[in-house]
Amino acid sequence: MVAPLKVGIAGLGTVGAEVVRLIEQQSRTLSSRCGRPVRVVAVTARSKAKKRGLDLQRLDWAKNPLALASDPGIDCFVELMGGAGEPALSAIEAALKAGKSVVTANKALIAKHGLKLAKAAEQHGGALNFEAAVGAAIPVVKTLREGLAGTAINRVYGILNGTCNYILTRMEQEGLSFAECLKDAQRLGYAEANPSFDVDGHDTAQKLAILASLAFGTKVSQGAVYVEGISSIAPEDLRAAAELGYRVKLLGVAVRTSKGIEQRVHPTMVPKTSSIAQVMGVTNAVTIDGEGIPPITLVGPGAGGAATASAVVADIADVARGIRALPFGRPVERLRSIAKAPMERHEGGYYIRLMARDLAGTAATIATRLADEKISIESIVQRHADGVDAVRMTGKAAPVPVILITYATSEDAVHRALAAVQRDKVISGRPQVIRIEKN
């Protein structure tokens, strides 16, 4: 009889409890697939008395995560507590130094301390698996690290936050404002009481930093990611996007350029015909562009107890099989340092929405300022103001929305042109600018 893989789990929240349940339910299948049984033998959590719908009587209860990680009675330490620091960091370090394998769903910890932990795994012979940290049930880590090990990656991008995708979907389909959709997302449990980590793009940035390391062999650096959230997106931007053949998504994009690896998170217009544009609601998706192959798009639930637990159990199964992949696909010493790419050097198409004042020469002034920066316009749409006749109410003509789609240009050229237009006082308010990502 082959000895079972003995698992210890730190953290029994929604995901942790589901992992215990899933291992019990799938015990025969796991044993068959792995060539040995997989058993949870010990756990720890902040509250032992909390009702979880599990029978934990037969399991050892460790007094704290560090004690569990150091327990000689376990082979695999599973960290599901969360947080970029303690107690998760010390517990994982202790497990790795003891030669144990570690499975975690902790994106914040991997984004901040992943290199140090990967080095410890290399030195002591254990695995460090974190599939659930990026995209939950979407197997993007294994795809980049193992499935595409022989392929040069040019770009990896995707929808990595279900909260933002849900909000943008509702705004588009129902014409609601960002504030209205956010409030509803909080009521339904898709957004936290303090939603800034999600809607300001930081959750996506952590995940993108991990994907960029796997794709390009760079050191994980969340600080190298340019980050912009979705709170500035208005229903009129989504309507305009639809009419122009686009859809707005919050994307994390890591791309190889002649200037180096560019990493950015921001609202993005994508062609409606693209795979990523079809992904609605809380669903996540990642597209990988590699040399010599058509783009690969992986779509699935990017969060939730069952989805995350399925990825955690898959990582545990790899440990049971004896698979010891390098955490980031390369030895840590071969990962390259990366500096933050200035967004001013980014090149691509742009959507620009201006509120043009009804003054003689306004259109000519805007066109001149764009031409000064050698910005070519692909299309231009002028709309009439909605609602009550502003001239009758105020004696002045209301500003008219003007929407421009540019050909490929540089970020700094767009900013210089728009700054000049604002100095000319031919527009009201702040211009809206959304980058366009082509297929």
Residue type, 48: K
User: Residue 340: what pLDDT?
Assistant: 83
**Average pLDDT in the 110-135 region?**
96
**pLDDT tier at 252 (50, 70, 90 boundaries)?**
very high
- pLDDT value at residue 294: 93
pLDDT tens readout for residues 262-303: 999 999 999 999 999 999 998 999 999 999 999 999 999 887
What's the pLDDT tens digit per position in 14-68?
A: 899 999 999 999 999 999 999 999 999 999 998 887 888 888 888 999 999 999 9
Q: What share of the chain in percent tops pLDDT 70?
A: 96
Cβ atoms 227, 201 nearer than 8 A = yes
Q: Is 207 a catalytic residue?
A: yes
pLDDT at 259: 80
Q: What pLDDT is recorded for position 389?
A: 41
Catalytic residue among 207, 219, 272, 340: 207
Q: Please tell me the pTM assigned to this model.
A: 0.92
Per-residue pLDDT at 397: 66
pLDDT of residue 77: 98
